[in-house]
């Protein structure tokens, strides 16, 4: 038998119901805005770990990513579970080497993480994580580390190496998945989560299936450049000139001739 619905008898009860309904609507609107303003790669990050070398020159001056304002302290041997909290970083006082820890990230999200927002949204965050909905967690940027850019400056992007390189579209770099932009897939398949065993005992894989945490595995013979790229899970190299006029062929060539040599493994993070 259905009970008849009774309207609240007092103005106080009606007022309280109105307040509760208002709070629910406001929360739903906030969640909706947060969801729509957060790329899928940010809303539910999937573990990844690849690298690429990046050089940025603003009016001819190369940014030093080995400098203290970019460097992130990483425990030795940390190569899995404890890295998923952040999408990018530089470490070991190495210039150029970008570490990417989340799948489907773009170059624009990388630039925004260090202070250049060319992809929209909040200037102080990449978006929100929704894994524990309805509890949201924002993904703050690392900081305003990159130098200021004049309004008349243009972005000239190149990919390749010292043997061959080509100019690319800046919009493609900022909005495409980095694997798609580089035209190369990571050796490490994206995972929705890191296993419980890996959380307890993180291994320092160099992405070739070899565990490099033990002393006997630290002397890998890797003199061939192609082997080093595979060992480091290197997707490619990017040079970005930020200036009014297009760089000369000699300027571009000089930057690709200045690529940092690859170590036997960058897997300490």
Give residue-wise pLDDT tens across range 143-190.
999 999 998 999 999 999 999 999 999 999 999 999 999 999 998 876
Cα separation, 193 vs 185, in Å, equals 19
pLDDT at position 1: 57
List, as one string, the DSSP characters of 148-197: P--TT-EEEEEEE-SS-EEEE-HHHHHHSBHHHHHT---SS--BSS--HH
pLDDT band at 9 (very low <50, low <70, confident <90, very high): low
pLDDT at residue 194 greater than cutoff 90: no
Nearest to 107 by CA among 43, 173, 22, 171: 173
CA-to-CA dists, residue 250 to 158, 173, 187, 189, 267, angstroms: 13, 23, 33, 38, 33
pLDDT at position 208: 39
Which residues does 234 contact at the CB level (< 8 Å), separation at least 6? 50, 51, 52, 53, 228, 262
pLDDT at position 156: 98
What would the pLDDT profile of 54-111 be if each residue is shown by its tens digit?
Answer: 999 999 999 999 999 999 876 555 555 455 689 999 988 999 999 999 999 999 999 9
Whose tokens are 């539910």? That residue is: 44
What would the pLDDT profile of 17-53 be if each residue is shown by its tens digit?
Answer: 878 777 777 767 776 777 777 899 999 999 999 999 9
Arithmetic mean of pLDDT, 220-243: 86
> At 113, phi and psi to the nearest 5?
-60, -30
- More confident site: 121 or 210: 121
Cα separation, 260 vs 245, in Å, equals 26
Cα dihedral sign, 79-81-87-91 = negative
pLDDT at residue 12 greater than cutoff 60: yes
Buried b (16+ CB within 10 A) or exposed e, 112-149: bbbbbbbbebbeebbbbbbeeeeebeebebbeebbeeb
pTM: 0.79
pLDDT band at 125 (very low <50, low <70, confident <90, very high): very high
pLDDT at residue 263 greater than cutoff 80: yes
């Amino acid at each position: 038998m259905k009970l008849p619905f009774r309207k609240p008898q007092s103005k106080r009860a009606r007022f309280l119901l109105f307040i509760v309904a208002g709070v629910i609507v406001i929360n739903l609107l906030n969640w909706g805005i947060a969801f729509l303003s957060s790329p899928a790669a940010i809303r539910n990050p999937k573990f990844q770990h690849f690298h690429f070398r990046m050089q940025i020159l603003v009016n001819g001056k190369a940014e030093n990513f080995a400098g203290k304002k970019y460097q992130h302290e990483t425990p030795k041997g940390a190569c899995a579970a404890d890295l998923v909290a952040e999408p990018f970083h530089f470490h070991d006082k190495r210039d150029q080497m970008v570490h990417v820890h989340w799948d489907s990230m773009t170059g624009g999200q990388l630039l925004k993480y260090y202070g250049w927002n060319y992809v929209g949204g909040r200037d102080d965050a990449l978006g929100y994580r929704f894994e524990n909905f309805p509890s949201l967690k924002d993904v703050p940027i690392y900081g305003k580390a990159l130098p200021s850019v004049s309004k008349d400056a243009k972005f000239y992007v190149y990919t390749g190496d010292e043997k061959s390189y080509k100019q690319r579209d800046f919009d493609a770099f900022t909005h495409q998945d980095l694997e798609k932009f580089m035209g190369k897939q990571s050796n490490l398949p994206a995972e929705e989560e890191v296993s419980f065993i890996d959380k307890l005992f993180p291994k320092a894989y160099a992405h070739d299936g070899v565990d490099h945490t033990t002393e006997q595995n630290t002397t890998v013979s890797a003199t061939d450049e192609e082997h080093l790229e595979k060992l480091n899970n290197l997707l490619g190299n990017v040079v970005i000139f930020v200036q009014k006029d297009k760089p000369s062929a000699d300027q571009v060539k000089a930057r690709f001739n200045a690529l940092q040599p690859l170590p036997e493994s960058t897997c300490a993070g």
